[in-house]
A and B are shown apart, each in its own frame.
Chain A
Amino acid sequence: MFEKVLTRNFSLPRSESIDTYLANGGYQALQKVLREYTPEQVIEMVTASGLRGRGGAGFPAGRKWAFIPKDPQIEKYVCVNTDEGEPGTFKDRELVEKDPHQVIEGVIIASYAVGAHRAFVYIRGEFFLGVKRWIKAIDDAYAKGFLGKNILGSGFSLDLSVHRGAGAYICGEETALIESLEGKRGQPRKKPPYPASVGLWGKPTLVHNVETLANVPHIINRGAEWYASIGTPKSTGPKIFCVSGHVKNRGIFELPLGVPLREILYEYAGGMAFDKKLKAVIPGGASTPMLTPDQLDIPMAFETLEAAGTMLGTGAIIVMNEDTCMVDVARRLMRFFAHESCGHCTPCRTGTTRMLALLEDLEHGRGKAEDIERLEEIASKMRGLTFCPMGDAAANPILSSLKLFRDEYEYHVKYKRCAVAA
């Protein structure tokens, strides 16, 4: 059994309180960092640990930290991305609701490493309990002197506050998050420049996912070597997998990266519900291409999934059984993306709407054979044309479902109903 790291306190009573956290070794990493390490050493450690971003893109955290300019004259910011909106993902919410201090400790260490004295939590507006937990945890951390001026007598100061989003998926994208945090319309900025050089209010900004930051205290406490020993050489550390769909036990499972998908599904998630046959798995959230039952032995790591033509994404595993209509799945996903497109660029704004219209027609038996080609054409042409990666995100699941389950689309055209028993 894998020794839990990020979720180790989850089963404790009142796991969200600062007392529980302190009683279980909390804030020791922070004390160690402030007393013994220079910011450069912290960055070195994180780089050596091989920690990669858990928000979807998997960018190496240490490298991201090193991009932030060292000049102390330049003001810098750290943003905690709690805008968890990827369908199928519910790990950050759990982390914030059950162990917020772990994340706060990570934020303080990250801020110390990059020289930021102001950090923001950007939280999805719908996370009502999460907001409460964040605010309570921040208040408690201030009271104990872990936040504020001159933290633990080290001379390092950091202020942290919570900002609630207004309900836009796209604000989980770092530049859109920054725009929203500035009080503007939540839509992505053009890149370059990247937030590491021009971010919040034009200053260098480090934007990290909650889970990424939660890993940081453990790297400090137990060393980069220990951390790097977990997982695969290119995907190190523990990962919280969110399993949803047609399995017996839905929920979050903390496992080392590289664990085979089959093991997650059958050992931890208890296998298929009602012993139905597995049809498809979305491995990393709504925007990742699907996997089929013959690919179950794939290790769940960044590099292996990429090689298989999909992505680890946020580690949100959506399991679909034989009764699932894949056209309906595509339609539901597209409804989400069409609804969440910010409307800034033409291909995403119009492409998602057109695809949704085609999928609605197909699903409801009004589709024509050429609609399938049209759909494929829009999805494939849209990739890479959009202002931000959301266009790719919307096109990916459509393309993969067309590749894997084209017969179902054709069935819809021919018989004007679903291929599966309804």
Chain B
Amino acid sequence: MAMVNLTINGQKVSAPAGSTVLQAARLANIDIPTLCDHPALAPIGACRMCLVEVKGQRTLQPACTFPIAEGMEVQTESQPVTDARKFVLDLLFAERNHYCMYCEMSGDCELQALGYRYGIDHWVYPTYTKRFPVDASRKYFLMDHNRCILCRRCVRACSELVANHTLGVRQRGAASMIQADMDVPFGQSTCVSCGTCLQVCPTGALVDKRSAFMGRDIQTQHIQSTCAQCSIGCGMEIVTRDGNVLRIEGDWNAPVNAGLLCQKGRFDPLYDARPRITKPLVRKNGVLKEVDWDTAVQIVVQALKDTNAKDWGVLTTTYATNEALYLLDKLFRQELGVTNVGLLNDVAPKMVEKANGSLADVNNSDIILLVGANPASEQPVASFFIKRALNKGARLIVVDDQENGLAAFASMNLGMAEVEKAIEFAQRATNPVVLYGAGVTSEAARALQKLSGKAAFVALEPGVNTRAAAALGLNSGFDPSASKALYVLLGEQNWNGELVKKDAFVIVQASYQSPLTERADVVLPMAIWAERTGTVTNTEGRIQKVNKAVEPKGEAKPDWEILSLLASKMGKKIGTSLDEVSAHAAQAIHPS
């Protein structure tokens, strides 16, 4: 790549051609303050904080948009520059209500930090006395227009990253206001509550309701992990303080999502109000009694020994780690010989011999076939990718017999029987992508084979770790009525246990109380997503790490640890340390 040489503050800097002054400065670790700029968003040069002196230019230029040129001389902290920045800050602080001491973001606010940096110790201009509204109509976060500096990061995040185009600006000049749709309350708008705007807001204008006033960033810990609420596997940071999860933020450096999260991943897990199971429970005289782990495990081991393998049934959620699924498969299917094994959700059919597509292909596609999958509700982040591609000019054809959340965005909506028509369009395209889910019929799957070699096939697996479960062969078809004893790895999922025989012996490994745990004979308390370490496999087959952010509640144990405990009590040596199990699991999921 061609490099351009310039000097910033007398320091020689070289940066790729086409960079802006700000990008070049960042490469050289030269700090230029910004407000409206965000690395993930296109620069708009609105706030005028990043103004720098460029030799030969009549006026100060915004570093975020000004392109570099060979031999350019830039000053980032000269007197005219700092004067200008101070002036801009004076104006910003006087525009709306920026009394920091009452603000949730105080301490973490970018505007406040710049105020300190440039010595804004009083209001130079009379402050704005007008009161702006606060919109708290959304469930998870609120918009306080009084704190808004109109940087439009939220607007750009909503349109550029999420491609949802809910946010915009109404009016003009000082009357400009961030608004949703055609000025409706946020809670009644087309907002999908992905929270991306919340994550990019530099001030306290967008505030998370749950974690508000629960501590400054410096008092918290950020634990990198992978979201395990659907099969996309978005990188996230779990923000905790004193052993409590405050909120979840998207990881800007994550390979799959690059910062995006959705309502399912960012907010819903924190609002789970179901009562937890904190101790092992065993049914005695018809009543579930709390016991210690040894007793519970002893009873399970005894049951496993007493019952014939062909009378056993094993059912698992896909909300489990690779390690747990591997151990489940190893212990029950391979060591004990249980054959009646199944998943709590469907699996997308195997479409191509070797998966050749990734979610990144969606971005460069010109036509997208969405077949038998509903990412708008199942894998929202994937639906953002699709809408982003549509913004760039791609066309979407939805092939689905069910109601589809992206139907309104499609240039064509077809039934599963009309899949041929969609295939015709894909054959004429340059970069077609087929996104398929469990709803693909076998006829449609056969027809779509025509596109192999031409199109990128990307599965949108239902559930979470479905890809790993399928690779391990855990989806071999399950009949609950056939088993006299049942081991259910229920985890965080809900299942009412229909069709389970009345007299069957049921062992449940679960995090929350549910109809099935009420009916079970043994309940083993399991840790939830934030309390476990391990790996998960996303729908592309990418194995990613999940990390423990907080300690398991009560005596709950991580999913794989419970199975490892059972195995060792039964005298089976199938791995005891996490690293060992992870390595075995990875090998089993991606046999090399």
Which A residues are within 8 Å of any B CB, using their own CB? 168, 185, 187, 190, 192, 338-347, 349-354, 357, 374, 378, 381-387
Please tell me if B172 contacts chain A, counting CB pairs below 8 Å: yes
Write the nearest CB–CB distance from B223 to chain A, whole angstroms. 36
Q: Which of A168, A192, A374 contacts B172 (CB 8 A)?
A: A168
Q: In the bound complex, how far is the Cα of B88 from the Cα of A362, in angstroms?
A: 23
Contact partners of B507 in chain A: CB under 8 A: none
Q: Which of A185, A347, A387 contacts B87 (CB 8 A)?
A: A347
Q: List 15 A-B contacts (CB under 8 A).
A: A192-B67, A338-B173, A338-B174, A340-B173, A343-B169, A343-B171, A345-B47, A347-B48, A350-B95, A352-B173, A353-B95, A357-B126, A378-B125, A381-B87, A387-B45
Contact B169 A346 (CB under 8 A): no
Contact A350 B94 (CB under 8 A): yes
Please tell me if B92 contacts chain A, counting CB pairs below 8 Å: yes
Q: In the bound complex, how far is the Cα of B87 from the Cα of A354, in angstroms?
A: 12
Write the nearest CB–CB distance from B119 to chain A, whole angstroms. 16
Contact partners of A192 in chain B: CB under 8 A: 67
A354-B173 contact in complex given A190-B65, A346-B48, A386-B48, C-beta closer than 8 Å: no
Contact partners of B168 in chain A: CB under 8 A: 185
Contact A385 B45 (CB under 8 A): no
Write the nearest CB–CB distance from B46 to chain A, whole angstroms. 5
Contact A343 B174 (CB under 8 A): yes
Contact B83 A381 (CB under 8 A): yes
Contact partners of B124 in chain A: CB under 8 A: 374
Write the nearest CB–CB distance from A78 to chain B, whole angstroms. 25
Contact partners of A338 in chain B: CB under 8 A: 173-174
Please tell me if B44 contacts chain A, counting CB pairs below 8 Å: yes
Q: In the bound complex, how far is the Cα of B67 from the Cα of A168, in angstroms?
A: 29
Binary contact readout B134-168 vs A (1 if CB under 8 angstroms, 0 otherwise): 00000000000000011000000000000000001
Contact A353 B59 (CB under 8 A): no
A190-B174 contact in complex given A185-B169, A346-B91, A385-B51, C-beta closer than 8 Å: no
Binary contact readout B117-134 vs A (1 if CB under 8 angstroms, 0 otherwise): 000000011100000000
Which B residues are within 8 Å of any A CB, using their own CB? 44-48, 51, 58-60, 62, 65, 67, 83-84, 87-88, 91-92, 94-95, 124-126, 149-150, 168-169, 171-176
Contact B172 A384 (CB under 8 A): no
Contact A343 B125 (CB under 8 A): no
Q: Which of A190, A341, A354, A385 contacts B84 (CB 8 A)?
A: A385
Please name the residue on chain B nearest to A384 by beta carbon. Answer: B59
Please name the residue on chain B nearest to A344 by beta carbon. Answer: B46
Write the nearest CB–CB distance from B216 to chain A, whole angstroms. 26
Contact B87 A384 (CB under 8 A): no
Write the nearest CB–CB distance from A362 to chain B, whole angstroms. 13
Write the nearest CB–CB distance from A142 to chain B, whole angstroms. 32
Contact partners of B48 in chain A: CB under 8 A: 345-347, 385-387
A341-B172 contact in complex given A354-B125, A374-B125, C-beta closer than 8 Å: yes
Known contacts A338-B173, A350-B174, A385-B48; 15 additional CB pairs below 8 A are A190-B45, A339-B173, A341-B173, A341-B174, A342-B173, A343-B171, A345-B47, A345-B48, A346-B149, A346-B150, A347-B91, A349-B176, A381-B84, A385-B59, A387-B62
Contact B83 A190 (CB under 8 A): no
Contact partners of B176 in chain A: CB under 8 A: 343, 349
Contact B173 A346 (CB under 8 A): no
Q: In the bound complex, how far is the Cα of B94 from the Cα of A187, in angstroms?
A: 23
Q: In the bound complex, how far is the Cα of B58 from the Cα of A345, in angstroms?
A: 19
Write the nearest CB–CB distance from A15 to chain B, whole angstroms. 37
Write the nearest CB–CB distance from B37 to chain A, whole angstroms. 12
Write the nearest CB–CB distance from A124 to chain B, whole angstroms. 16
Q: In the bound complex, how far is the Cα of B64 from the Cα of A365, in angstroms?
A: 43
Q: Which of B46, B65, B172 contacts A346 (CB 8 A)?
A: B46
Contact partners of B46 in chain A: CB under 8 A: 344-346, 387
Q: In the bound complex, how far is the Cα of B95 from the Cα of A357, in angstroms?
A: 12
Write the nearest CB–CB distance from A337 to chain B, whole angstroms. 9
Contact partners of B65 in chain A: CB under 8 A: 190
Q: In the bound complex, how far is the Cα of B292 from the Cα of A139, in angstroms?
A: 90
Write the nearest CB–CB distance from A184 to chain B, whole angstroms. 10
A353-B83 contact in complex given A192-B67, A346-B91, C-beta closer than 8 Å: no
Please name the residue on chain B nearest to A339 by beta carbon. Answer: B173
Q: In the bound complex, how far is the Cα of B59 from the Cα of A383, in angstroms?
A: 9
Contact B174 A349 (CB under 8 A): yes
Contact partners of A344 in chain B: CB under 8 A: 44, 46
Contact A385 B87 (CB under 8 A): yes
A349-B51 contact in complex given A192-B67, A385-B88, C-beta closer than 8 Å: no
A346-B47 contact in complex given A357-B126, A384-B58, C-beta closer than 8 Å: yes
Contact partners of A341 in chain B: CB under 8 A: 172-174
Q: In the bound complex, how far is the Cα of B58 from the Cα of A210, in angstroms?
A: 29
Please name the residue on chain B nearest to A193 by beta carbon. Answer: B67
Q: In the bound complex, how far is the Cα of B59 from the Cα of A382, in angstroms?
A: 11
Contact B60 A385 (CB under 8 A): yes
Q: In the bound complex, how far is the Cα of B91 from the Cα of A27, in angstroms?
A: 54
Write the nearest CB–CB distance from B196 to chain A, whole angstroms. 21
Contact partners of B174 in chain A: CB under 8 A: 338, 341, 343, 349-350, 352-353
Q: In the bound complex, how far is the Cα of B94 from the Cα of A387, in angstroms?
A: 20
Q: In the bound complex, how far is the Cα of B87 from the Cα of A347, in angstroms?
A: 8
Write the nearest CB–CB distance from A176 to chain B, whole angstroms. 11
Write the nearest CB–CB distance from A366 to chain B, whole angstroms. 11
Instruction: Specify which of B51, B60, B83, B87 lies most central, judged by the most chain A CB atoms within 10 Å of its CB.
Output: B87
Contact B88 A346 (CB under 8 A): yes
Contact partners of A354 in chain B: CB under 8 A: 91, 94, 125-126
Contact B91 A343 (CB under 8 A): no
Write the nearest CB–CB distance from A116 to chain B, whole angstroms. 23
Instruction: Specify which of A341, A344, A374 lies most central, judged by the most chain B CB atoms within 10 Å of its CB.
Output: A344
Q: In the bound complex, how far is the Cα of B126 from the Cα of A382, in angstroms?
A: 17
Please name the residue on chain B nearest to A361 by beta carbon. Answer: B126
Contact B47 A353 (CB under 8 A): no
Contact A350 B169 (CB under 8 A): no
Please name the residue on chain B nearest to A342 by beta carbon. Answer: B172
Instruction: Specify which of B83, B84, B173, B175 lies most central, judged by the most chain A CB atoms within 10 Å of its CB.
Output: B173
Please name the residue on chain A nearest to B176 by beta carbon. Answer: A343
Contact partners of B58 in chain A: CB under 8 A: 384
Nearest first, the 6 closest Cβ-Cβ pairs linking A and B are A384-B59, A343-B176, A341-B173, A350-B91, A353-B174, A381-B87
Q: In the bound complex, how far is the Cα of B88 from the Cα of A190, in angstroms?
A: 19
Write the nearest CB–CB distance from A359 to chain B, whole angstroms. 13
Q: In the bound complex, how far is the Cα of B48 from the Cα of A353, in angstroms?
A: 17
Q: In the bound complex, how far is the Cα of B173 from the Cα of A357, in angstroms?
A: 14
Contact partners of A343 in chain B: CB under 8 A: 150, 169, 171-176
Please name the residue on chain B nearest to A348 by beta carbon. Answer: B173
Q: Which of A347, A349, A385 contacts B173 (CB 8 A)?
A: A349
Contact partners of B173 in chain A: CB under 8 A: 338-343, 349, 352-353
Write the nearest CB–CB distance from B76 to chain A, whole angstroms. 16
Q: In the bound complex, how far is the Cα of B91 from the Cα of A352, in angstroms?
A: 10
Write the nearest CB–CB distance from B180 to chain A, whole angstroms. 15
A346-B84 contact in complex given A168-B172, A353-B174, C-beta closer than 8 Å: no
Contact partners of A349 in chain B: CB under 8 A: 95, 150, 173-174, 176
Contact partners of A350 in chain B: CB under 8 A: 91-92, 94-95, 174
Q: In the bound complex, how far is the Cα of B87 from the Cα of A187, in angstroms?
A: 23
Q: In the bound complex, how far is the Cα of B88 from the Cα of A346, in angstroms?
A: 7
Contact partners of A168 in chain B: CB under 8 A: 172
Please name the residue on chain B nearest to A338 by beta carbon. Answer: B173
Write the nearest CB–CB distance from A349 to chain B, whole angstroms. 6
Instruction: Specify which of A339, A346, A384 lies most central, judged by the most chain B CB atoms within 10 Å of its CB.
Output: A346
Q: In the bound complex, how far is the Cα of B219 from the Cα of A124, in angstroms?
A: 55
Q: In the bound complex, how far is the Cα of B174 from the Cα of A344, in angstroms?
A: 9
Q: In the bound complex, how far is the Cα of B126 from the Cα of A354, in angstroms?
A: 8
Q: In the bound complex, how far is the Cα of B254 from the Cα of A129, in angstroms?
A: 58
Contact B91 A351 (CB under 8 A): yes
Q: In the bound complex, how far is the Cα of B171 from the Cα of A374, in angstroms?
A: 27
Contact partners of A357 in chain B: CB under 8 A: 126
Instruction: Specify which of A344, A345, A350, A386 lies most central, judged by the most chain B CB atoms within 10 Å of its CB.
Output: A350
Contact partners of B84 in chain A: CB under 8 A: 381, 385
